[in-house]
Amino acid sequence: QVQLLESGGGLVQAGGSLRLSCAASSSTVSGYVMGWFRQPPGKAREFVAAIAWRGEPTYYGSPVKGRFTISRDGAKNTVYLQMDDLKPEDTGVYYCVVELAERVWGQGTQVTVSS
């Protein structure tokens, strides 16, 4: 089975930026939609962004539109999430996902935004 490994999370002040990476263990993900969800403390998991393998179209959840950008490097089997103008409400565990026959999830990376 393919495995997804997220990295790039950390602690940042409001207004700062982070870049998350999601590296797949194999090219099995080639041709499939990949994306990001997040789970704030004490809340349900919510959609953040998704990208078709060709790079378009892209999709964003309403809270992050205009601030986050999803991209991918097919040669590296890697998807990125550039997060700008971070807000405290962006705090949570960010999970990478690939839409195969079923959704395959990474273990998540913690993002904490201080006010």
Tens digit of each residue's pLDDT (9 = 90 or more) over 8-43: 999 999 999 999 999 999 999 999 999 999 999 999
Question: Would the pLDDT of 52 be above 90?
Answer: yes
Q: How far apart are CA 95 and CA 72, in angstroms?
A: 15
C-alpha distances (whole Å) from 1 to each of 33, 69, 102 are 17, 28, 12
Tell which residue, 85, 41, 78, 79, has the closest CA to residue 63. Answer: 85
Mean per-residue pLDDT over the chain, rounded: 96
DSSP result, 20-89: EEEEESSGGGTTS-EEEEEE-TTS--EEEEEE-TTS--EEE-GGGTTTEEEEEEGGGTEEEEEE-S--GG
Taking the alpha carbons of 39, 43, 45, 47 in that order, is the dihedral positive or negative? negative
Residue-level pLDDT at 1:
84
The pLDDT of residue 107: 97
Model pLDDT, residue 6: 97
End-to-end CA distance of the chain: give it in Å, rounded.
Answer: 40
Signed CA dihedral, 95, 100, 104, 106: sign only: negative
Q: What is the pLDDT of residues 82-92, one digit of tens each?
A: 999 999 999 99
Mean pLDDT of 94-102: 95
